[in-house]
Amino acid sequence: MNILVSGAGGVRTDFVQQYLIRILNPHLQQSWNIDSYTGRTIQNLKPNNYTGEYIVYKEHSGLRRISDSEYILSRRENIVAEYDKVFYLLHNHQDIEECTKRAWEHVVKSYMYNSAENYTGAEIHAKIDHESEISLHGNDNISVLGVSILRFADIISDHGWQSLQEAMEVDFPVHAAHLWQTALTHSHSPDKVYYRGELFTKDHVRQRVEYYYARKQEYYGEN
């Protein structure tokens, strides 16, 4: 069975992918590595380097692309081309805390400590502004034929594994909750990070999200 996990940066696509690989293929013994400083899941098991009944892929496509005919067969059945199951991890674009967490974790895990670009401090500030703004863009009530929408709030909760189990429509093994909850405790980025001698904080990202949220409300005349 081929499975796709997709979503914006910062919503734990790597985390969910690695969890599903291990929980659905119990014969795999390789450890699940999570960086102790950033909380970033290290993809030591990828679709091309393990065998099993369940092959789990990951990418960062938007829902619009996933809904294109490239992915979904042009017939009425809820079948996604190339994949037997597709999960899309979606944060609440109206919730400042969820937008803040998504933006902050994406910047820390993808730009500060997992990039070949070697960004300067000024470039990280620009990334924070960009991610804070785009975190507020999107449709929280969207649905796509053949795609299971999983809420970010559920994914970062102790019961996130249950949402995955229900969407997979299979019974997970008895250790499913323990594996999820143990890994989850190590997966959160710290609230303060020193990068190139400068202190960056989650609070600063929250302030930028609040700023863009106010601008969005003003532009659309929302209360």
Q: Taking residues 25-44, what's their average pLDDT?
A: 86
Tokens of 15: 């985390």
pLDDT at position 62, please? 64
* Kind plus residue range of the DSSP H or E element containing 4: strand 2-7
pTM of the full structure: 0.87
Written as six digits, the tokens of 65 are 């692309």
Q: Distance between CA atoms of 190 and 209, rounded to whole angstroms? A: 18
User: Model confidence over 147-204: pLDDT tens digits?
Assistant: 899 999 999 999 999 999 999 999 999 999 999 999 999 999 999 999 999 999 999 9
Task: Give residue limits of the domains in the chain.
Answer: 1-93+139-189, 95-137+191-223
The model's pLDDT over 72-109, given as tens digits with 9 standing for 90+, comes to 443 334 444 578 888 999 999 999 999 999 999 999 99
Distance, in Å, from the CA atom of 214 to the CA atom of 205, rounded to the nearest integer, reads 14
Q: List, as one string, the DSSP characters of 164-187.
A: HHHHHTSPPPTTHHHHHHHHHHT-
Token pair 């989650």 in the structure block, residue:
202
Question: What is the rounded CA–CA span in Å between residue 74 and residue 157?
Answer: 36
Which residues, including other chains, have CB under 8 Å from residue 117's CB and lie 6 or more apart?
A: 111, 123
Section 57-71 average pLDDT:
64
